[in-house]
Amino acid sequence: MKKVISVSLGSPERDWQVDTELGGEVFQIARRGVGLDYARYEAMVKALAADPEVAAIGLGGINHYLVANGVRYPIRRAAQIAALAGDKPVVDGVRLKLTMEPAQVRILAENGILNQGQRALMVCAVDRWGMGEALSKVCREVLFGDLAFALDIPIFLSSLAQVGRLGKAVLPFVTQKVPFEWLYPTGESKNKPRYHRRFAWADVVAGDFKFIGKSMPDATGEMKGKIVLTNTVTSADRERLKRAGVKCLITTTPNFNGRSFGTNVIEGVVVALVGKPPEEMTDAEYLGTLNVLGWDQPTIEEM
């Protein structure tokens, strides 16, 4: 058996496990939350590193890298955690965000689901640079909420070039000095409906569901008729989107038992199947393995 375990900074209440066969191999795939306890996170990574059945460790609830204009900015705290795994592959999903997700946006555009008549709200481009680039090419207008959703500064940027300039100026400091939980909503953070006008403006709301879900106005109608492009949604999240009036949910990762996996989990499975260190793998190997698994297509759910 090969194990791919995602250790998440978020709540253990969202934990899950799936045992399945993929590519002729038996896999145990699981998510284990630590509830913002970094000491527990580190202990769990060390324990997984010592388990010979663990083929890859996913960093969940924290990014190893943020990306702007092709430059990866390592997050200091995540790098420290990843180092505890020794030779065991550690992935955070960044390679899939740069390869699989933009490819899926192009597929959605080819099928007319995304088009030049739409306006998109991208909640955080430095978390999903590939998706942001692809949306900029297929949608009429895109607003980027990196400042608003990650830093709580209610300013929205109108181009990826602006995000790139901001990233070059800010990310070297933010990734080294600012605690990640200040930037990213964990399972312990409270939902706070806001930016109603921006959500109402958009035809497509895209990006990490933690950012979307924390700020999404549920009860006031702004989400009615929207397309939401995201992943890591649970059955409860789907019900919430239905109640809010969302027309279509598109997830970039496959759905198992009512839940779409995080990109770190999917990247871990790909790495385990190919059997190479992540840094030695090519984009073609990632995309080819996803194609063999049938995981290269977005999942589209009419709500």
209: nearest Cα among 296, 105, 302, 124: 124
φ/ψ of residue 87, rounded to 5: -85, -5
199: nearest Cα among 106, 121, 97: 121
Q: Which two tokens stand for residue 163?
A: 């995000």
Q: What integer pLDDT is reported at residue 258 of this predicted model?
A: 75
Domains and CATH numbers, the chain: 2-96+256-302 (no CATH), 98-253 (3.40.50)
Q: Is-contact 204 118, C-beta < 8 A?
A: yes
When pLDDT is averaged across residues 185-189 and rounded to a whole number, the result is 70
Q: Is-contact 3 54, C-beta < 8 A?
A: yes
104: nearest Cα among 299, 301, 302: 299
Judged on CB neighbours under 10 Å (0-12, 13-18, 19+), 247 is middle
115: nearest Cα among 91, 140, 90, 93: 140
When pLDDT is averaged across residues 76-99 and rounded to a whole number, the result is 96
Q: Is-contact 87 46, C-beta < 8 A?
A: no
Strand partners, 227: 204, 248
Q: What integer pLDDT is reported at residue 259 of this predicted model?
A: 79
Residue 214: band (very low, low, confident or very high) from pLDDT cuts 50, 70, 90: very high
Residue 301: band (very low, low, confident or very high) from pLDDT cuts 50, 70, 90: very high
Q: What integer pLDDT is reported at residue 191 of this predicted model?
A: 86
